[in-house]
């Protein structure tokens, strides 16, 4: 005999998956897409959609890394500087080694920066905002010591196999990001470590009293954030064919915005990989629409700041 699910249970299940804030943001983006498709003939073209899919990769990887840190109740402001450093290493070291080895070095440095952040936060019980703010400036200064001018990849395969490669009409870089989303989702929802990270954001002291090695899990979250930022830097340098020491400034704001729009709580204990995907797509659509209508970049920054503020206010009751 087929079980009949009461309508009240369906409503409760739906409410658990989508809050009122989620529905508001989803509705706003759908309205924006409809308006943009009507007002601009180029918005829904294949070329524009491919451009969007390539542009969301950088913020996508940064956002996945920051999500893992925010789930623990922390924050990582170094991702923009790490991105720039990794891009410079991946391109500049190609004169001394194969580009694949240069990429490995860049990823290792990203992980090392993340480890330093996590170790300082965990070992000395410091505020993540202060720690990562300090290391953000230090890493930015260090990368200028390494290279105060742009670097160009010397191996053509660095671009043709990564940044400029397509599988049909889909960019390879987007496929890499699309593959990372379910991997992060699995870690956060189906592993013990991922669930502990969530618990740290809810009540760190309770987790500590339960006998869990809090420091190890905090450090892992920051290492993951550093590696994801390094991946974003390598992919960006490969796509553009150039790495600049000035790139990445304020990129952390876009990543934080994507996490918050996707349901992340800056106090910890919230956020999902699928939510981050939605937040990244939302910001990408907003950016694309504003660029299509030639809106000045200063107004774009103003709008992003307002989006972050509205997202935080919309979810303040959950915290």
What is the residue extent of each domain of the chain?
60-314
Q: What are phi and psi of 170, to 5 degrees?
A: -100, 125
* pLDDT, tens only, 12-35: 444 455 677 777 777 877 887 888
Least confident of 10-14, 104-108, 159-163: 10-14
* pLDDT, tens only, 176-235: 999 999 999 999 999 999 999 999 999 998 999 999 999 999 999 999 999 999 999 999
Token pair belonging to 185: 């989702």
pLDDT at 316: 65
- Give the separation between CA 135 and CA 76, rounded to whole angstroms: 10
Q: What is the mean pLDDT of residues 89-93?
A: 96
User: 3-state class of 151 per DSSP?
Assistant: strand
- Give the separation between CA 80 and CA 84, rounded to whole angstroms: 6
Instruction: Give the ranges where the chain is alpha helix by DSSP (H).
Output: 7-17, 20-39, 46-70, 79-92, 99-124, 128-146, 157-158, 172-190, 192-202, 204-209, 214-240, 251-261, 273-292, 297-314
Q: What confidence category does residue 100 fall into, taking pLDDT thresholds of 50, 70 and 90?
A: very high
Mean pLDDT of the chain: 89
pLDDT at 13: 44
- Alpha-carbon Rg of the chain, whole angstroms? 20
Q: Compute how many other C-beta atoms are within 10 angstroms of the C-beta atom of residue 231.
A: 27
Token pair belonging to 256: 């934080």
Inform me whether the pLDDT recorded for 11 exceeds 50.
Answer: no
pLDDT at 146: 93
* pLDDT, tens only, 230-254: 999 999 999 999 999 999 988 998 9
User: 3-state class of 168 per DSSP?
Assistant: coil
Q: What confidence category does residue 8 fall into, taking pLDDT thresholds of 50, 70 and 90?
A: very low
pLDDT at 56: 95
How buried is residue 224: exposed, middle or buried, by Cβ count under 10 Å (0-12/13-18/19+)? buried
User: 3-state class of 243 per DSSP?
Assistant: strand
pLDDT at 3: 45
pLDDT at 16: 53
Q: What is the mean pLDDT of residues 42-58?
A: 92
Which position has the higher pLDDT, 227 or 283? 227
User: 3-state class of 45 per DSSP?
Assistant: coil
């Amino acid at each position: 005999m087929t079980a009949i699910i009461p309508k009240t249970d369906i409503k409760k299940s739906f409410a658990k998956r989508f809050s009122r804030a989620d529905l508001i943001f989803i509705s706003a983006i759908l309205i924006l897409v409809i308006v943009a498709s009507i007002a601009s003939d180029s918005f829904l073209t294949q070329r524009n959609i491919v451009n969007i899919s390539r542009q969301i990769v950088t913020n996508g990887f940064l956002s996945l890394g920051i999500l893992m840190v925010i789930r623990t109740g922390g924050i990582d402001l170094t991702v923009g500087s790490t991105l720039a450093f990794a891009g410079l290493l991946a391109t500049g070291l190609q004169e001394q080694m194969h580009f694949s080895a240069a990429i490995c070095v860049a990823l290792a440095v990203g992980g090392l920066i993340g480890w330093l952040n996590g170790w300082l936060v965990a070992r000395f019980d410091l505020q993540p905002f202060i720690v990562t703010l300090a290391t953000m400036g230090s890493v930015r200064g260090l990368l200028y010591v390494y290279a105060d001018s742009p670097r160009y990849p010397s191996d053509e395969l660095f671009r043709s196999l990564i940044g400029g490669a397509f599988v049909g009409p889909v960019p390879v870089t987007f496929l890499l990001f699309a593959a990372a989303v379910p991997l992060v989702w699995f870690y956060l929802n189906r592993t013990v470590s991922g669930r502990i990270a969530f618990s740290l954001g809810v009540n760190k002291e309770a987790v500590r009293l339960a006998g869990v090695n809090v420091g190890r899990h905090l450090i892992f979250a920051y290492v993951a954030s550093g590696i994801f930022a390094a991946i974003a830097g390598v992919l960006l340098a490969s796509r553009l064919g150039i790495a600049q020491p000035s790139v990445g400034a304020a990129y952390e704001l876009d990543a934080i915005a994507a996490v918050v729009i996707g349901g992340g709580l800056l106090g910890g204990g919230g956020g999902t990989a699928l939510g981050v995907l939605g937040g990244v797509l939302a910001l990408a659509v907003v950016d694309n629409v504003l660029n299509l209508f030639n809106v000045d970049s200063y107004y774009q920054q103003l709008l992003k700041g307002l989006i972050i503020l509205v997202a935080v206010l919309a979810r303040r009751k959950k915290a």
